[in-house]
Amino acid sequence: MRRKASLVLLACAVFCTALSPLLRWYAFPRLARIPANQYQDMVLEAKDATLLDYGTMRAKKVPKVTIVQTLKGNVEAAEKIEKTAGRPVVVWDGLSYVQGPDGKMVSSIPERYIFDAHSQDPVHATGEAVDGDPVKRDGIEFKWPFLTQKRDYEYFDAQTRTTNPIHYKGTRNFRGLPVYFFEQTIPWTKVPMPKTMPVKGITPESVAKTGTTRWYTTVRRFWVEPVTGAPVYGQEIHKEELRGGTLLGGRAGVTAFAGDVKMREDYIEHTVALVKHNRTLVLMLTSYLPWGSLILGLLLLGLSLYLEARGRRPEDPAPTETTEPEPVRA
């Protein structure tokens, strides 16, 4: 009986031990993926900002500038690209909509971002663009990979259409979550005018004819939860200028926008709660279940060997009865 029990325990031990690496190295890459149909939005604000008044072409102080960023998963486009890419793909159709304190549009820049559903590596395909201009990303954008490492990454900047390093600056605690802090500085760079302008009749082509150019610089900061790779907070110290040309009436330059852009409080709370939930799910696949399965397998193996050893131990001999010899009679 003990031998049968030890064999059953041995089989269970082998199963649990083999399950451990399968969960980590096989199930995790196939289950931890960004959904193709995911939709998310984010509201950021720059309070006490500087904004260009296109009516007077003068910069003025405003109480607040609001930036609404939306990312919508395009399932149909993702399925088409997957056929040739040979891997799960996510297509995000994004929009960065900037509005002044009066609610009027300042700029509206669409974007299409195509990336690997698990690794977040960019996938190059037709349609990859920023504001209608074809681009070829060489780095991540919006999200870090699962199990983010303590190192620098290449991060795509949509304004300059270039990829630059974003530097790891250390580990911090953000509202109960351990996070990695990253920072990227984009120096003053000449960038294209938005195709959608806030004043009717003004187009990038008409501005170009005046000789006026647009310049941009920013210091970009992210607080990233490393298990999910999701930023829980973001900040940009953002500056834009128009320089030269007849549009400025002989002035060398004018501030188009300047402000400290931060996530709005209600979106911070929602993001932190969502990331905490997803963090537990990812840890189940990368840590809790693999290690639990391995430890359980070792315990079952030890119990199986113990029962086997007891089953092979010789039993004590049964006690023999002693009888007195019968007396001899003549």
In this predicted model, what pLDDT tens digit does every residue of 61-104 receive, in sequence order? 999 999 999 999 999 999 999 999 889 999 999 999 999 998 88
Same domain, 186 and 289: no
Tell me: pLDDT of 105 over 50.
Answer: yes
pLDDT, tens digit, 9 for 90 and up, residues 54-68: 888 889 999 999 999
Same domain, 208 and 306: no
Using CA atoms in the order 5, 7, 12, 13, what is the torsion angle rounded to 10 degrees? Answer: 110
Residues 113 and 204 in one domain: yes
Looking at residue 161, its pLDDT comes to: 94
DSSP state string for 160-221: TTEEEEEEEEEEEEETTEEEEEEEEEEEEEEEPPPSS-SSTT--HHHHHHHT-EEEEEEEEE
What is residue 61's DSSP assignment?
Answer: E
In this prediction, residue 330 carries a pLDDT of 44
What amino acid occupies position 265? E
Q: Are residues 239 and 305 in the same domain?
A: no
Task: Give the tens place of pLDDT for each residue, 292-328.
Answer: 999 998 998 888 888 777 777 665 555 555 555 566 5
CB 96 within 8 A of CB 67: yes
| pLDDT tens track for 280-298 | 999 999 999 999 999 998 9
Instruction: Give the model's pLDDT for residue 123.
Output: 94
Model's pTM, two decimal places? 0.88
Residue 277 corresponds to which amino acid?
H
Does residue 247 sit in the same domain as residue 203? yes
pLDDT digits (tens, 9 = 90+) for 185-243: 999 999 999 998 888 878 888 888 989 999 999 999 999 999 999 999 999 999 999 99
Residues 214 and 101 in one domain: yes
**Percent of all residues in the chain with a pLDDT value above 90, rounded to a whole number:** 69
Asked, for residue 270, whether it belongs to a domain, the answer is no
Identify residue 66 by its one-letter amino acid code: T
Same-domain pairing of 57 and 155: yes
Give the pLDDT score at 319: 56
- Residue type for 176, please? G
279 located within any domain: no
| 148 and 181 part of one domain | yes
Handedness of CA 48, 233, 222, 157 (dihedral sign): negative
- What's the domain count of the chain? 2
Q: What is the pLDDT of residue 316?
A: 52
Q: Are residues 77 and 218 in the same domain?
A: yes
Q: Both ends of the chain: CA-CA distance in Å?
A: 56
DSSP class of residue 314 equals P
Judgement on whether residues 214 and 300 belong to the same structural domain of the protein: no
Alpha carbons 87 and 83: distance in angstroms, whole number: 8
Quick one: 16 and 99 in the same domain?
A: no
Q: Is residue 152 part of a domain?
A: yes
Q: Report if residue 53 sits inside a domain.
A: yes
Instruction: Report the run of H or E that residue 80 belongs to, with start and end.
Output: helix 75-85
Residue 322 lies in a domain: no
Q: Say yes or no: 172 and 293 in one domain.
A: no
Domain assignment present for 26: no
pLDDT for 322 equals 55
Sort strands 129-130 and 253-263 into parallel, antiparallel or unpaired.
unpaired
Lowest mean pLDDT among 9-13, 17-21, 137-141, 295-299: 9-13
113-130 pLDDT, tens digit each: 999 999 999 999 999 999
Residue 323 lies in a domain: no
Inter-CA distances, 81 with 85, 113, 124, Å: 6, 12, 9
pLDDT over 70 (residue 13): yes
Residue 224 belongs to domain spanning: 32-263
318 falls within a domain = no
pLDDT for residue 223:
98
**Host H or E run for residue 31:** helix 28-31
Q: Which residues contact 18 (CB under 8 A, 6 or more apart)?
A: 297
CA distances, 139 to each of 57, 189, 213 (Å): 36, 19, 27
